[in-house]
Structure 1
């Protein structure tokens, strides 16, 4: 089985999104700029979606 080129991108997006979410919990709502909240709301789901798409596309028959 070969790895898709989109999988490292998906892992990076998801990791950045989760890191932003953890930063939100650690710093609280008042200590962070708005882009951190946007990153948490957008990057983690985007990384998950790219990862699922990559897995489904890689598992299809040729």
Structure 2
């Protein structure tokens, strides 16, 4: 029985999969935001559209996924 308990403890990850995706997307979005700010501060005026879209879409999407994962986790505990 002790081996079963250890296996269950190892198999259970620390954070849900949705939370990990949210954190990753938010991190990528923040890197895109920093890149846009740095490029704008360097004097570039015509920034790539994909970079601006990544900064404007990926960051809030990651935040939303993280919040949804928190709500799901909190409801599962109750």
TM-score, normalization: structure 1?
0.87
Q: Which runs of 5+ in 1 are unaligned?
A: none
Aligned pair count? Answer: 61
Q: Which has the higher contact order (CA 8 A, sep 6+)?
A: 1
Partner of 1:21: 33
Higher helix proportion (structure 1 or 2) = 2
**Other-structure match for 1:50:** 65
Q: Which shifted more, 3-12 or 43-52? A: 3-12
Q: Deviations over 1:2-51 (max 9, x none)?
A: 52111110011000100000001101152531100000000000000000
Give ranges in structure 2 of 5+ residues lacking alignment: 1-13
Which has the higher Rg, Structure 1 or Structure 2?
2
Question: Which residue, 47, 62, 71 being the options, matches 1:32?
Answer: 47
Q: Is residue 2:19 matched to residue 1:10?
A: no
Distance 1:9 1:3 in 2: 10
TM-score calculated relative to the size of structure 2: 0.71
